[in-house]
Structure formats: C-alpha cells, structure tokens
Chains A and B, each alone.
Chain A
Amino acid sequence: MLDALFMYLKVILVGGTICMIAELIVIRTKITPARILVIFLMIGAILGGFGLYNYVVDWAGAGATIPILGFGNSLANGAIVAAKTDGFFGALSGGLIATSAGIAVSIGLSYLVSFFVSSKTKKD
C-alpha cells in the first residue's frame, strides 16, 4: 500500500516537473507550443538513444511514459531493440513499430470523431 502511494508521488513529481519546465520555456521564450513539442520529443529520443530514459521510466512509470518524452524514447528504443534482433531491417522499422499502435489509434479515432463533430467557436 505504501509502495503504491510512493509510486504515485513519483509519477506526480516527474510528470508535473516535465510539464512545468515546458511551461516555463513557453512563458520565458517566444517558442510556440508546436516547437516545444518537437524539442521535448527530441530530448526524449536522444536520452532514449543513449538508453538513459529507461531508468526514468523504471523509476517513475507513467510519469515518464505519458509525456511526449516517453514517445520519443519509444521511437529510439524500438529502433535499438529491433536493430539488435532483426538487423538492418529492424533498424529501419523498429521506431515506427514501437509507436505504431498510438499513431494508428490517433488517426483512426480522429477520423471517426470528425464524422460526427464540427468545430465550435471558442467562448473565451
């Protein structure tokens, strides 16, 4: 029980801090959110490339996998693992395979939702 509670504390600490740093960059510089998203993804992918981000994932669970850093890490990690097992073809396909489910669900569901919904004017 105490273990589970401690786990959630770690999730809050890591997940919250990552978002807070991004917000700080948004406020202090004029970098647009789309760019921040790319920058954070690349940070995750680079840390993943050196195998460092997996330590964060082990420690903080969803606090590390849910932020876009985790997505970048999956891309890099997938390529590394597949390169070891499937050789050159794995090196080419591994990144996308590891993240394919998330991308496919995003596309499929968005497609579906767009048939039923039209955009509404923002209220404020």
Chain B
Amino acid sequence: MIKLGEQTYQIEKDISIITGVSLVGRKEGEGPLAGYFDFIEKDDKMGEKTFEKGERQMFLKAISCAIRKSELKKDEIDLYVGGDLMNQLVSSNYTAEELEIPFLGLYNACATMTESLIIGSTFLESGGAKNVICATGSHFSTAERQYRYPLEFGNQRQSYAQWTVTGVGASVISSERRSKIKIKKFTIGKVTDFGICDIANMGAAMAPAAMETLNAFFKDTNTSQKDYDLIATGDLGKLGSDIFKDLMQEKGYDLETNYIDCGHMIYNIDQNTLQGGSGAGCSAVVLNSYILQKLQSKEFKNVLLISTGALMSTTVNQQGDSIPGIAHLVLLEAD
C-alpha cells in the first residue's frame, strides 16, 4: 500500500468486489432504483416481534445471500466488518453471532459502508486475509425510536429533514477471486465540524466533511472531477448535496454532470421524504445495486464513492454540542 499525499492510499494488490447484495424495505422498493435491488421486503419486521429483531434478520438475509452468490464456503470468509446505527451495534453483533465469522464492528454513522470497505481491503492488502465480507445497514423504525420520537407520535418533520433508509448492503471483497470491479484507492476523512446543531439538518452537518475528503483526494492524486465517470456522495440529501456542490465550487471544482447523491436518488419526490434518504444503509444499498451493476456493465469506468456520516449523539447534542461529520472515499474501477 502506498500513501499518496496526506490522506489517500493506493492499493497495490488486485482486490475485487466479487459480489454485492442489496436488501431494502417497502418504501425504497417503490423508489426509482427498485429495479436494481436484490430483495424488496414488504414486511419491515421480517416476521419478527420487534423492529430490532427485524433489522437483524435483514442483515442475516443479505449477508447469507452475498456469501452464497460469491460461491465461497462460509469458512473461507476470513473476516466480517461492518456496522449499523443502533447503540452498541446490536444488529451487526447479533448477526455476527449467527454467522460465526470473525467480526470487527465499526461505527462511523452513515459513512460505515466505505469505512468497512477500507478496513476490509487493508486486511486483504496485508495478505493475511483472502476474503472479507463488508455489510452495513439501517432501519427507519429502529433509528426513529432510538434517535427521535415514538413512531405514533404526531410531529411534523422539518422541511430540510431526511428519511432513514431501511436496507442492508453486503459486499464480498477478495484478493484470491477476481471480478471486473476493483478497489484502487481510498481516502480516510477527517472529522469535520462546521457548527451545525440542528439534528434535523444532517445534510448541512455532513457536507463540509464530504468537501474536505473529496478535496483532499483530488489534491493527493492530482486529479479533478473530469477524470471520473461518476462521483457519488452517501446521504447528503438534496439540500446537503446542493451545499456540497457550492462548497466544492469554492475550492474550484465544478460538480455538475457526473455527480449524484445516493440519498437524493433513492426516493421519488412524491414519496414525502423531503430531502431524501439517510442512514448507514443508504450508500450501502445504492453501492451494492446501482453502482456495482453500472460498473459491471462498463457504463461507468471509475466511480468515487464518498459515504458521509453525521456523528450525532442525542446526549451531547442536548448539552449544546454541534454535530461533527465524517466522510470516507473509495475509488472503484472497472477493468
């Protein structure tokens, strides 16, 4: 692994994403990306008694399917890395217990997908591990009851609020099997806080972190937005991605034609999600459906995925602290 500039690393081994599986809830399944998802679950409790147990089942189903599709045996998977939004990462922990695969739990809020790809490919690069599964997800109802109000509580959402995506994305990455999609470089972001305190306005809290990371990547690699077919941010939402575009403009990069935001594109405007999707599952399901399929078909040759996370804690937020953001970047290329 070579360090480029300040924050970017280049992978020297041949590391492929061999399979990607996406599982979403009903609302995401009614959105514009419905055709790309592997599973659309009508029942977001998955037949279980609580939403938390349902989220666990979603993880289990997506990961089991990803392992099956990769044609690897379970004991050939050396490591499971990933996380979710719940306190103590309960959903991932209980899933890891079922799977009996060595497990590293990660938390970077909604940036966990790229974080787990980074940790996973570092293990592969070291040569110690051969196959790693990376999985993250989130669930609207569990997040709502942990971070906000009870589901039946009648409150109006702020016009700049976002909607937590119900879904799990799982990718198997490998240094011994090959596929067309390679992980080439990654940038580890810095925690960035521009003083946003409003917990409804996550997009604005995360946009500066995304800007810092993408800016660092462009500087470290001496490239610009023109060198990439697609630049995708994780879950800034409509407002957040507009702010992000403005911030990048200030830095001299004009993101227009090849820029998307996963949170903005996962829902239709008429689905009442206001600014769009958010949550750890957001960039995970869009990566494992839309982006991987487009890379597979060579429609995109190289994609920058910047998952963005708002590292929000209701406890310190009530004490008056602002919301820090983080963003990690991964460069995917199709051979």
Q: Do chains A and B touch in the complex (CB under 8 A)?
A: yes
C-alpha gap A120/B43 in the complex (Å): 11
Do most interface residues of chain A lie in helix, strand or loop, or is the interface mixed? loop
Is B6 positioned at the interface, with any CB of A under 8 Å from its CB? no
| A120→B271 contact, CB < 8 A | no
| A120→B272 contact, CB < 8 A | no
Name which of A26, A30, A121 has the most chain B CB atoms within 10 A of its CB: A121
Q: How many residues of A contact B (CB 8 A)?
A: 9
| A121→B141 contact, CB < 8 A | yes
Per-position binary interface string of chain B over residues 262-279, scored 1 when its CB falls under 8 Å from any chain A CB and 0 otherwise:
000000000111000000
The one of A26, A33, A119 in contact with B151, judged by C-beta atoms closer than 8 angstroms, is: A119
What is the distance, in angstroms, from A23's C-beta to the closest C-beta of chain B?
A: 9
Do most interface residues of chain B lie in helix, strand or loop, or is the interface mixed? loop
Given A119-B150, A121-B44, A33–B140 Cβ distance below 8 Å? no
Residue of B nearest to A121 (CB): B141
Is A58 positioned at the interface, with any CB of B under 8 Å from its CB? no
C-alpha gap A120/B27 in the complex (Å): 14
C-alpha gap A28/B315 in the complex (Å): 25
The one of B140, B155, B156 in contact with A121, judged by C-beta atoms closer than 8 angstroms, is: B140
Per the 8 Å Cβ criterion, residues 27-85 of B in contact with A are 27, 44, 51
Q: How many residues of B contact A (CB 8 A)?
A: 18
Is B152 positioned at the interface, with any CB of A under 8 Å from its CB? yes
What is the distance, in angstroms, from A114's C-beta to the closest C-beta of chain B?
A: 10
| A122→B151 contact, CB < 8 A | yes
C-alpha gap A98/B312 in the complex (Å): 41
| A119→B272 contact, CB < 8 A | no
| A124→B151 contact, CB < 8 A | no
What is the distance, in angstroms, from B212's C-beta to the closest C-beta of chain A?
A: 25
**Complex interface: chain B residues within 8 A of A123 (CB):** 27
Name which of B25, B44, B145, B152 has the most chain A CB atoms within 10 A of its CB: B152
C-alpha gap A26/B155 in the complex (Å): 11
C-alpha gap A70/B271 in the complex (Å): 37
| B141→A124 contact, CB < 8 A | no
**Complex interface: chain A residues within 8 A of B140 (CB):** 121-122
Given A30-B198, A124-B271, A119–B44 Cβ distance below 8 Å? no
C-alpha gap A124/B271 in the complex (Å): 7
Where the two chains meet, the residues of B that have a C-beta atom closer than 8 Å to any C-beta of A are 25, 27, 44, 51, 140-141, 144-145, 150-152, 155-156, 166, 198, 271-273
Assuming A119-B150, A124-B271, what are 7 further A-B pairs, CB within 8 angstroms? A26-B156, A120-B152, A121-B44, A121-B140, A121-B166, A122-B144, A124-B272
